[in-house]
Amino acid sequence: MNYLIKSLPIRERPREKLIIYGVENLSDSELLAIILKNGKKNKGVQEIAVELLNKYGSIKNIAQANLEELKGIDGIGMVKALELITCFELGKRIYNSENLKISNAKDVYEFLYSKLSNRLQEEFYGIFLDNKNQIINWRMLFKGTFNQSFIYPRDILREALKSNASGIILAHNHPSGDVNPSTADIDLTKELYFIAKMVGLKVMDHIIIGHNKYYSFYDHNWWDSYEKEKVKSDN
């Protein structure tokens, strides 16, 4: 079936329906058609939207697709794929950050797993919390080889202070899937822990994410180890 927009009555065209009936009354395919804007020769934008839904089964599944997958679909090139990914990412950020409270390391793992689990490079994130452990802001801070020479504590603290945060959670992935911390991971975490403490901020945990598993510095008592080491050096 050919869903050419120009063949539809004006009141049945997605944009006009949105204006007349409100966005909440549009179907998933109609919402996708508005984002995609236009189709191609002999293939209307609504037909592309319907095919996209049929291929992935749901909006949720489409939101998990990557750029290469989307731009490979007939009628969706690079620009449309970028627009779709951007829209879905904005929705994810609103959903994930709105009053989301972090109670333990598992909460962090579930929050970031979809973003970090299949990355081929290491990515380092900062999650910034208020005094009720609710997320104020979060962002990727560094990408690439993870060691102390590439991670700048001042940049992390600047983001935390800009967000008026009380606490910071650090997180990064190990593309190998092995979540055991390296010596660089341990040394960097200790450095960031004490630098943050000096300016009245608390590093609450550092999570390493691998394949379907994670490692929590807090759960493995590294904070106690750091404090005992400091007391010993002070004496």
Q: Give percent of the chain above pLDDT 70.
A: 89
What pTM, to 2 d.p., does this model score? 0.60
Please compute Rg for the chain using Cα positions: 23
Q: Is the pLDDT of residue 144 over 80?
A: no
DSSP one-letter code for 40: B
Which H or E run contains 87?
helix 78-97
φ, ψ dihedrals at 181, nearest 5°: -70, 140
Q: What is the pLDDT of residues 105-114, one digit of tens each?
A: 999 998 888 8
Q: Give percent of the chain above pLDDT 90.
A: 27
Q: Is the pLDDT of residue 97 over 60?
A: no
Q: Is the pLDDT of residue 121 over 70?
A: yes
Q: What is the pLDDT of residues 11-60, one digit of tens each?
A: 567 788 888 878 888 888 888 988 898 888 778 888 888 889 999 998 88
> Beta strands of the chain (E only): which ranges?
123-129, 135-143, 167-173, 202-209, 214-216
Provide the residue type at 224 as one letter.
Answer: D
**What domains sit in the chain, N to C, each tagged with a CATH number?**
5-97 (1.10.150), 105-234 (3.40.140.10)
Task: Describe the crossing of helices 183-198 and 222-234 by its angle, rounded to 10 degrees.
Answer: 70
pLDDT in the model for residue 59: 85
CA distance 10 to 19: 11
| Residue 64: pLDDT band with limits 50, 70, 90 | confident
